[in-house]
Every structure is written in C-alpha cells, then in structure tokens.
Amino acid sequence: MCPTGVTLPPDPAAKGADFRPAFDALDADRDGKISKEDLRSFYAGFSGGVEEEVIGTMMSVADVNRDGYVEYEEFETVLRERSGGGGGGGGVMEEAFRVMDRDGDGRVGVEDLKGYLKWAGFGEASDEDVKAMIRLGGGDERQGVTYDRLLKILAV
C-alpha cells in the first residue's frame, strides 16, 4: 500500500504485532472502518498532504471485499503481507512512517513522534513519555526509532 515505491526493511517480529493502534489512528471518524475520507483527514495534517490518486490506490489495495471501506481484518492482512509476511514490501505503516520521518533520515525522533501523537488525537504527550515509548520500541531516545521499531511501539 505504499504508493511511493519506497520499501523499508521488514521486521520479523511484525507477524505477532497488533495493528489496532495504527488502524485506530487512521479511522478518523471512529466508526470501525477506514474510508477515503479518513485517509484524507489523516494526510491533511501533514505538509504536502497526499494526492487523491494515492488515496485511491491505498483503498483499492486494502479493500478486498470492495465495499468502499477497509475493515480491521483487511487492514491487518495487508500490513502482515506487506511488512514481513511476503509480498515484496510496502504498506500503509511504511507510508505513515515516511510521513512522520520529516527529514527523511529513516528514523522517527522525539519531536516527530510527539507531533504525530498530538495530530492523531492522542493528546499532548510529554517529552519523557515519548522518549519512554521510543525506548520501549528498542530505539535510542536521541536518534529515534527505525520503521521496525515503530511497529513494535504501535503493537504495544
């Protein structure tokens, strides 16, 4: 589901990950399914946003039953296939990581994660809370976390 063609290294532990927190972050209207409007809302909060064509591509990849929505089971299947279970890379989490990684260095730092959490409606997190999350994911609080470490944070 990563329309940019960028492939991040797979995380072998991702198969056991719970992707509900990531799903909930994308489900802007909290109706239990991700729609095109939810994705528009998600990407509108980041500089540059995302093109309508990209949103359409994401939906077409994940909406297996073609009902116009991505339910959790569809979301989880796509993430598992794309983030380590085979299929050659890509995924909505990689796209979210790319958006969060504002400087493109392959890591999400304290300010990146703090800004994302606030934007996603999780409230104002303190620097110490965000540093603790990064440490929990196995990252370095000064250097941030890589994609595979971010998946571990979201799976908690």
For the chain, the structural domain boundaries read: 14-88, 101-156
DSSP letters, 47-93, are: TT---HHHHHHHHHHH-TT-SSSEEHHHHHHHHHHHTTSSSSS--HH
Residues in the chain: 156
Q: Tell me the average confidence (pLDDT) per consecutive run of 10 residues in the chain, 156 residues long.
A: 42 56 87 93 68 82 92 85 50 74 86 79 77 84 86 64
Taking CA atoms, 28 is separated from 13, 37, 88, 102, in Å, by 27, 8, 28, 22
Of 86, 92, 116, the C-alpha closest to 10 is 86
Which pLDDT score is estimated for 85? 47
Which residues does residue 145 pair with via DSSP β-bridges, in sequence order? 108
pTM reported for the whole predicted model: 0.50
DSSP 4: T
Which pLDDT score is estimated for 73? 93
Query: What CATH architecture applies to the domain 101-156?
Result: Orthogonal Bundle (1.10)
Of 64, 7, 67, 2, the C-alpha closest to 31 is 67
Query: How far is C-alpha 121 from the chain's CA centre?
Result: 14
Which pLDDT score is estimated for 81? 65
Whether 155 and 133 have beta carbons less than 8 Å apart is answered as: no
Which pLDDT score is estimated for 32? 95
Options 1.10.238.10, 3.40.220.10, 2.60.40.420, 1.10.1750.10; CATH for 14-88 is 1.10.238.10
Place of tokens 């072998």: 12
Which pLDDT score is estimated for 35? 95
Q: Identify the three-state secondary structure at position 140.
A: strand
Q: How many CA atoms lie within 13 A of 93 on its CB side?
A: 34
Taking CA atoms, 63 is separated from 1, 33, 55, in Å, by 11, 10, 12
Domains 14-88 and 101-156 belong to one CATH topology: yes
The tokens for 153 are 């944070």
Which pLDDT score is estimated for 136? 81
